[in-house]
A and B are shown apart, each in its own frame.
Chain A
Amino acid sequence: AAGVIQSPRHLIKEKRETATLKCYPIPRHDTVYWYQQGPGQDPQFLISFYEKMQSDKGSIPDRFSAQQFSDYHSELNMSSLELGDSALYFCASSLGLAGGKVYFGPGTRLTVT
C-alpha cells in the first residue's frame, strides 16, 4: 500500500539558509500534519492542514511557514535556519478527522551546520 512520502530524506543546510521540506500524503488523504522531533525528544506537533486550509497550529516558529496545495501535498518552508532546527521532521496524513489514526512518513532529517 502507498505510504506517506517525504522528500528529501536528508538535508544539510548552513545557518541562516532556507530549507523546503515536501510531503506527499497517502492517496485520497486530505489532511496533512507536520511534526518536529529533536534529538532525544518526543515528536512535537507543528501545524496541520485539512482540505488545503490550516486546521491547527502548534509550536511552529514564525520563521517557518507551510501550505497544502491543490493536489494535497504539503511543503514546510524554513527560513533563517538555526542550529536548533536540526531535527527529524515528520509528515503525517489522514482521511479527515480520523480519530487520531494518522499515518507517518519516514521523516526528513535536517542538519543545520
Chain B
Amino acid sequence: DQQVKQNSPSLSVQEGRISILNCDYTNSMFDYFLWYKKYPAEGPTFLISISSIKDKNEDGRFTVFLNKSAKHLSLHIVPSQPGDSAVYFCGNAGGTSYGKLTFGQGTILTVHP
C-alpha cells in the first residue's frame, strides 16, 4: 500500500522568503509525485508534478525535488506570497490509474505580509 506522509502540519513564513514543504513516502512503485494546493471549501488545485525518473521539476515560483534514495519529496516556493497561504497536499500516483492519488495529511502554509 502506498503511504505518503507530511510530518509538518503547519508552516509559517514571511512574504518574500522561501517556503519548503516536505513529504516522505514508503512505496517506490509509482510513476508520479504531485503537489496540490487547497483553499477552504474548495477542491484541491494541481500545482506541479514530477516523474519518478527525474529529481527536479520547476514551474515559475514552484520547484519540486525528488530524492529517491531518501524517499523524500519537497516543494520550494520562492518567493512566497500571502496568496500562497493554503493547505498543501503531496500525493503520488500509482496503480493502473494515474489519477488514483494517495495524499499526505497536508501542511497548512501561512505566508505573512
How many A residues, CB 8 Å from partner? 28
Query: Are B101 and A101 closer than 8 Å at their CB atoms?
Result: no
With A42-B106, A107-B42 as contacts: A99 and B31 at CB distance below 8 Å? yes
What size tier do the contact residues of chain B reach? 20 to 34
With A42-B89, A43-B89, A99-B51 as contacts: A48 and B100 at CB distance below 8 Å? yes
A45 to B102, CA, bound (A): 7
With A99-B49, A99-B51, A105-B43 as contacts: A43 and B100 at CB distance below 8 Å? no
Contact of B97 among A4, A50, A90, A106 (CB under 8 A): A50
Query: Are B43 and A4 closer than 8 Å at their CB atoms?
Result: yes
A35 to B36, CA, bound (A): 14
Nearest-neighbor residue (CB-CB) of A4 within chain B: B43
Q: How many A-B residue pairs have CB under 8 A?
A: 81
Nearest-neighbor residue (CB-CB) of B94 within chain A: A100
Query: Is A8 positioned at the interface, with any CB of B under 8 Å from its CB?
Result: no
Give the contacts of B74-113 with A (CB-CB under 8 A): 89, 91-93, 95-106
Contact of B101 among A55, A97, A102 (CB under 8 A): A102
Contact of B100 among A33, A42, A90, A103 (CB under 8 A): A33
With A56-B96, A99-B98 as contacts: A43 and B51 at CB distance below 8 Å? no
A32 to B96, CA, bound (A): 14
Query: Are B93 and A48 closer than 8 Å at their CB atoms?
Result: no
CB-defined A-B contacts under 8 Å, sample of 10: A31-B99, A41-B105, A42-B103, A42-B106, A56-B97, A90-B44, A99-B31, A99-B98, A102-B46, A107-B43
Taking beta carbons and an 8 Å cutoff, which residues of B are in contact with A? 31-34, 36, 41-46, 49, 51, 89, 91-93, 95-106
